[in-house]
Structure 1
Amino acid sequence: MQTITYTKGILAELSRTIERMDDTEAEKLVDGMQRANKIFVAGSGRSGLMAKAFAMRMMHVGLDPYVVGETITPNLEADDMLIIGSGSGETKSLLSMTEKANSIGATIALVTTNPTSAIAQLAAITIEIPAQAKAEGTSGKSIQPMGSLFEQTMLLFYDALILRFMENKGLDSNKMYGKHANLE
């Protein structure tokens, strides 16, 4: 199989996966983002990288986002939101973080392949991405290895949340550019 053929296969998988997602919880997440004082994002591995990209875009639209674990991340408070990206919804470090956020009273959102996971049980908002988890890498659900389909779909979903937020606030790319990094 040639590279372009693989690319077409990946795009077809992304399209099928996104078609199976439910928009109801997504709208709840956008509403929660608009109400939150600060928004914290977390994920492990590649899911964490998608969360960092999402935090950057949230900053561009004027939200107050933080990546959990960075040195400049402030404390989480009851009027804040924690958005976790976890395919399994069972990652121990993320579950511990979620339990702490829950005890503080923050709003918790989970983006996952497992809507019945331990983290989902604590989340007010659960977004299911119907893609394979990394442990299912040989199940035939995806041509891609491990959790690639989940992670790619998560990044597209995060970008779609930003577009919806922009629509709600009447923002466009020109307005966002004023918050783009200028020390490059």
Structure 2
Amino acid sequence: MNYNQVQKEIAQEISNTLGQVDSESVAGLVEEIKKAEKVFFVGVGRVLLSLEAVAKRLAHLGINTYVVGQITEPAITEKDLLIVGSGSGESAFPLIIAKKAKQYKARVAHIGANPNCSMKEFSDHFVRIPVSTKLQLPNEIPSVQPMTSLFEQSLLLLGDSISLMLIREQNIDMPSLWKYHANLE
């Protein structure tokens, strides 16, 4: 198997997946982000890595973002949004954090693959990335890639899509975004 064949398969999977994400649910998430004072993110493993990149990109747009557990994380309030990344919607740590966020009356958005999961109890908003998870449920997009790679890749690009939607909606001048970029590098 050569690189060109493999990269085409992966790119096609990602394109197919993102094309099946409901645009209305994404628009709803964009509205949740816009009305939040602070946006928190929680996930585990590679999902967390994708969410950290999304949080950083939204921070580049001037949005106050925090990853749960980071040393400078402030208190969550009823004015804030917690974005949970969990394909299965059953991962223990994100479930505990979502439950806690609801205790403080924060809004919770879940980005996942499984609409009928435990996270549903704590979510105000759901965006489905309809790919295969560790649960192997019906009506999921299969992947040639190992484990849940397609979910993590799609999550990252969904975040970049949301960022570009916000940039265009707010008519943000792209070069002006550099003022938010880290400069102690």
TM over 0.5: yes
- Looking at structure 2, the residues matched to 151 and 40 of structure 1 have their Cα atoms a distance apart, in angstroms, of 18
1: distance between equivalents of 2:79 and 2:154?
Answer: 28
Aligned residues: 182
Mean CA deviation greater in 166-175 or 100-109: 166-175
Could you tell me which residue of structure 2 aligns to residue 53 of structure 1? 53
With 74-83 and 170-179 compared, the bigger mean Cα shift is at 170-179
Aligned CA RMSD, in angstroms, stands at 1.4
Equivalents in 2 of 1:170, 1:145: separation in Å?
39
Decide whether the 8 Å contact of 2:55 with 2:67 is kept in 1: yes
Matched, 1:7 2:7: yes
Query: Which ranges of structure 2 fall in alignment gaps of 5 or more residues?
Result: none
> Could you tell me the percent identity over the aligned residues?
35
Q: Which residue of 2 aligns with 1:114?
A: 114
Q: Give 1:25 shift.
A: 1.0
Paired residues of 2:21 and 2:129 also in contact (CA < 8 A): yes
State the TM-score, normalized to the length of structure 1. 0.95
Distance between the aligned counterparts of 2:118 and 2:128, measured in 1?
14
**How do residues 1-184 of structure 1 correspond to structure 2 at under 5 angstroms?**
1-136=1-136, 141-184=142-185
Q: Report the AA paired with residue 8 of structure 1.
A: K
Q: Which deviates the most, 152-161 or 164-173?
A: 164-173
Q: Quote the offset at 1:168 in angstroms.
A: 1.8
In structure 2, C-alpha distance between the alignment counterparts of 1:23 and 1:64, rounded to whole Å: 24
Q: Secondary structure at the match of 1:167?
A: helix
| C-alpha displacement of 1:102 | 1.0
Residue segments in structure 1 that go unaligned for 5+ positions in a row? none
Given that 2:86 and 2:110 are in contact with CA atoms closer than 8 Å, whether structure 1 keeps it comes out as yes
Write out per-residue CA displacement over residues 110-138 of structure 1, whole angstroms, 9 at most, x where no aligned residue.
110111111123211100001111354xx
